[in-house]
A and B are shown apart, each in its own frame.
Chain A
């Protein structure tokens, strides 16, 4: 018993020293020499990736829309996705700024200030671990990035393997609608990470033939598509249990849908479903739980 207490004390001391070291020495731990030490990410998905590959200590500021992880929320915020506060960015003396690839003007502006940028391009699901590995090389965390990406790939593969050969239920994935009613419904088309996740989880996206990320559909199109499963994503705010029930009840008016008759309406709540960062693997597992509830046990 005493040796156990001693062991725990020693472990706590080591941990405390390990944590205290960066402040003491003034450098960020772990990153290869010459790697960027003052990173600003204005892309929430990439912020999540940086923290997942151990580059969190190198990040000095994030966007105003970041929600995860908790450590990122303690950092200064430099504005919105499309119009970051350039003065604030420059004042923080970053050596790497992560921006959306489409923002060529912002990149040019930062380039004139001598600041390096990393253009992030959102793509399908395969883009996630590819970006993590690439990012790892850019910020001197290649080995950690490789480990984190491989772990995520392994979890994706596990889902893929375990749902293989099962029937593919027709699945409707809704990522936006008017709360409490079936108005202004935005569903996933056949392009993008949400559609990829539905396919990975062993479902067949009912609007997969529409080669777009988002499809505005009416109740008629949904009734005609006859989904066997409805996955209804809610994010940006938490829903109380009674609100979740209310949102599920909104679907009951479409009683002829197989999904409604069989009670397969899943209300999933959380930003991990819509931010294409490393938590997408949690999202994919949650969606697989809905599409093939027995996938984990392999039955």
Chain B
């Protein structure tokens, strides 16, 4: 089958799954609502609990799940190619622990940074993510022209450990209820409560996705090694830099929106590779779409399984995704 047709078919198929998830998820929840009442224009919005549940609670969190899932899965693909390491995740280079440190500080030492309808914690966590990106980039470029992926990886892992210890230190200083809340933040939470946090994260996510759209061919060559890629006309340094910044930016925005939702960034890319092969022109869009659908599905489970309590979605991603991935692995093996 020609490549163009395979790309079209893959995107259409995974796109259909993502769209189906997007449409179906807001119809399911802990409270029974009537769709007719939701869209009944004759009832004022403030008097219509069904419409409020649909538009204030379910739709924002479904959209947030789609964006966070797509960003983390696609960033996972990009980091795995950039670092030429199948175990790389969007969190390997310290972006999420930087974000987590920002969030922990904001929860433990409340100061108001609220801006444009976005509360302090997401802003602080995005700032933490950017700080981590800047440090890792500086370290990996300081000794040579271009990025050293080895230094990148080691600096990222060290920074992760360093930030983790700072996080534990902040938690240690926090009182009991704050510690509980910081631990809950680390489990991920998509109940964004309004559209403002989504709109705030959107420009960064879209910038990341725009670069992702340009990357696949170069990533294919990059996985063969820098020299091989360079021999085939890839500007290796530029590609590495673009890949690093776009994936870091998307990850930072996603984590500030929904918390460090684990597992998606590593398993969705591998799962998609099992289904469509290793070509990044297929893997990257398919992972983004499947990541979106998968996180939407996990979020539906999170808010219905033990209703009226809401499970942190980060617990469910691995709980649901792990056995599914293992089953696929054994079946293919």
Q: A-side interface residues toward B, CB under 8 Å?
A: 65, 80-81, 175-176, 178-186, 207, 210, 212, 215-221, 223-226, 236-237, 243, 253-256, 261, 274
CA distance A183 to B191 in the complex (A): 6
CA distance A177 to B56 in the complex (A): 17
Chain A minimum-CB-distance residue to B312? A216
Chain A neighbourhood of B185, CB < 8 A: 184
Tell me if B52 and A180 are in contact (CB < 8 A): no
Tell me if B308 and A207 are in contact (CB < 8 A): yes
Tell me if B52 and A179 are in contact (CB < 8 A): no
Min CB distance, B268 to chain A, in Å? 24
Tell me if A218 and B310 are in contact (CB < 8 A): yes
Min CB distance, B312 to chain A, in Å? 8
Tell me if B53 and A179 are in contact (CB < 8 A): no
Chain B minimum-CB-distance residue to A222? B57
Tell me if A256 and B120 are in contact (CB < 8 A): no
Tell me if A226 and B57 are in contact (CB < 8 A): no
Q: From known contacts A180-B120, A219-B56, infer whether A224 and B49 are also in contact, taking CB-CB under 8 Å.
A: yes
Residues facing A in B129-175 (CB within 8 A) are 172, 175
Tell me if B193 and A220 are in contact (CB < 8 A): no
Give the residue of B57, B114, B312 whose beta carbon is less than 8 angstroms from that of A219. Answer: B57
Q: Which of B15-23, B40-48, B287-295 contacts A (4 or more CB under 8 A)?
A: B40-48
Tell me if B46 and A217 are in contact (CB < 8 A): no
CA distance A178 to B185 in the complex (A): 10
Tell me if B110 and A256 are in contact (CB < 8 A): no
Chain B minimum-CB-distance residue to A224? B31
Tell me if A221 and B307 are in contact (CB < 8 A): yes
Give the residue of A183, A186, A254 whose beta carbon is less than 8 angstroms from that of B56. Answer: A254
Q: From known contacts A65-B175, A180-B119, A182-B193, infer whether A221 and B310 are also in contact, taking CB-CB under 8 Å.
A: yes
Min CB distance, A33 to chain B, in Å? 37
Q: Which of B82-90, B176-184, B241-249 contacts A (4 or more CB under 8 A)?
A: B176-184
Q: List 19 A-B contacts (CB under 8 A).
A: A65-B175, A81-B176, A176-B181, A183-B189, A183-B191, A184-B189, A207-B308, A216-B310, A217-B310, A219-B57, A220-B29, A220-B30, A236-B178, A243-B112, A253-B194, A254-B52, A256-B49, A256-B51, A256-B52
CA distance A181 to B200 in the complex (A): 14
Chain B neighbourhood of A256, CB < 8 A: 45-49, 51-52
CA distance A81 to B107 in the complex (A): 19
Contacts across chains A and B counted by CB atoms under 8 Å: 114
Tell me if B57 and A253 are in contact (CB < 8 A): no
Judged by a CB distance under 8 angstroms, whether B264 is at the interface is no
Min CB distance, A55 to chain B, in Å? 24
Min CB distance, A293 to chain B, in Å? 24
Q: From known contacts A176-B181, A221-B30, A223-B31, infer whether A183 and B309 are also in contact, taking CB-CB under 8 Å.
A: no
Chain B minimum-CB-distance residue to A185? B191
Q: From known contacts A217-B309, A221-B307, A224-B30, infer whether A184 and B110 are also in contact, taking CB-CB under 8 Å.
A: no
Give the residue of A178, A210, A243, A254 whose beta carbon is less than 8 angstroms from that of B309. Answer: A210
Give the residue of B52, B176, B192, B310 whose beta carbon is less than 8 angstroms from that of A223. Answer: B52
CA distance A219 to B197 in the complex (A): 15
Chain B minimum-CB-distance residue to A212? B309
Judged by a CB distance under 8 angstroms, whether B61 is at the interface is yes
Tell me if B303 and A218 are in contact (CB < 8 A): yes
Q: Mark B55-99, 1 if CB is under 8 A from A, else 0.
A: 011100100000000000000000000000000000000000000
Judged by a CB distance under 8 angstroms, whether B104 is at the interface is no
Q: From known contacts A179-B110, A218-B310, infer whether A184 and B177 are also in contact, taking CB-CB under 8 Å.
A: no
Tell me if A236 and B175 are in contact (CB < 8 A): yes
Chain B neighbourhood of A185, CB < 8 A: 191
CA distance A207 to B307 in the complex (A): 11
Counting chain B CB atoms within 10 Å of each CB, which of A81, A185, A223 scores highest? A223
Tell me if B49 and A223 are in contact (CB < 8 A): yes
Chain B minimum-CB-distance residue to A64? B175
CA distance A46 to B192 in the complex (A): 38
Tell me if A218 and B191 are in contact (CB < 8 A): yes
Min CB distance, A82 to chain B, in Å? 8
Min CB distance, B316 to chain A, in Å? 14
Chain A neighbourhood of B114, CB < 8 A: 179-181
Min CB distance, A129 to chain B, in Å? 24
Give 13 A-B pairs besides A176-B177, A179-B110, A237-B110 with Cβ atoms closer than 8 angstroms: A176-B181, A178-B120, A181-B118, A181-B119, A181-B197, A207-B308, A216-B184, A217-B308, A218-B57, A218-B191, A226-B49, A253-B56, A256-B46
Report the 3 A-B pairs with minimum CB-CB distance, sorted nearest first.
A224-B31, A255-B46, A220-B57
Min CB distance, B310 to chain A, in Å? 5
CA distance A219 to B112 in the complex (A): 22
Tell me if A218 and B56 are in contact (CB < 8 A): no
Q: From known contacts A184-B184, A220-B30, A253-B56, infer whether A179 and B112 are also in contact, taking CB-CB under 8 Å.
A: yes
Min CB distance, B104 to chain A, in Å? 13
Tell me if B310 and A178 are in contact (CB < 8 A): no
CA distance A220 to B107 in the complex (A): 23
Chain A neighbourhood of B56, CB < 8 A: 219, 223, 253-254
CA distance A80 to B120 in the complex (A): 27
Chain B neighbourhood of A179, CB < 8 A: 110, 112, 114, 119-120
Chain B neighbourhood of A219, CB < 8 A: 53, 56-57, 191, 193
Chain B minimum-CB-distance residue to A218? B191
CA distance A35 to B178 in the complex (A): 37
Counting chain B CB atoms within 10 Å of each CB, which of A183, A207, A274 scores highest? A183
Chain A neighbourhood of B308, CB < 8 A: 207, 210, 215, 217, 221, 224-225
Min CB distance, A180 to chain B, in Å? 4
Q: From known contacts A216-B310, A223-B49, infer whether A253 and B112 are also in contact, taking CB-CB under 8 Å.
A: no
Chain A neighbourhood of B120, CB < 8 A: 178-180
